[in-house]
Amino acid sequence: MTPPEWFLASLGSCVGFYAVKYLQTRNLDATGLNINVSAAKITETPVRLDNFQINVNLPIALDVGHQKGLEAAVKSCLIHLTGRQP
């Protein structure tokens, strides 16, 4: 894997950690949880990754409250927060 691929994998694993932690502390089944992370390579200087897409997929349906809670948990991922800083 390339360093950018490792970066995306790290972001995905961090998001997954916080998602599982949220679900388990509420006795919700995390089985089948799937995280997909992608980004676009910007070729203008400075070359970088941008337009990150993070999708958290569960085979179970969550009510609106848990959807919002899971989203907040995922957004508290340290790597996600680091990437959000200018």
- Do residues 76 and 14 lie in contact, with contact meaning Cβ atoms separated by under 8 Å? no
Query: pLDDT digits over 9-35, tens only?
Result: 999 999 999 999 999 999 999 999 999
Q: Would you state the pLDDT for residue 47?
A: 93
pTM: 0.87
* Domain at 3-83, CATH from 3.40.50.720, 1.20.1420.20, 3.30.300.20, 3.40.50.1370: 3.30.300.20
Q: Rounded to whole angstroms, what are the CA distances from 57 to 34, 35, 67?
A: 5, 6, 11
Closest CA to 77 of 19, 14, 26, 27: 14
Least confident piece of the model among 20-29, 54-63, 72-81: 72-81
Residue extents of the structural domains in the chain: 3-83
Q: Would you state the pLDDT for residue 83?
A: 78
Please give the Cα distance from 52 to 49 (Å, whole number): 8
Query: pLDDT digits over 29-40, tens only?
Result: 999 999 999 999
Least confident piece of the model among 3-7, 44-48, 76-80: 76-80
- Do residues 2 and 74 lie in contact, with contact meaning Cβ atoms separated by under 8 Å? no
Q: Is the pLDDT of residue 86 over 80?
A: no
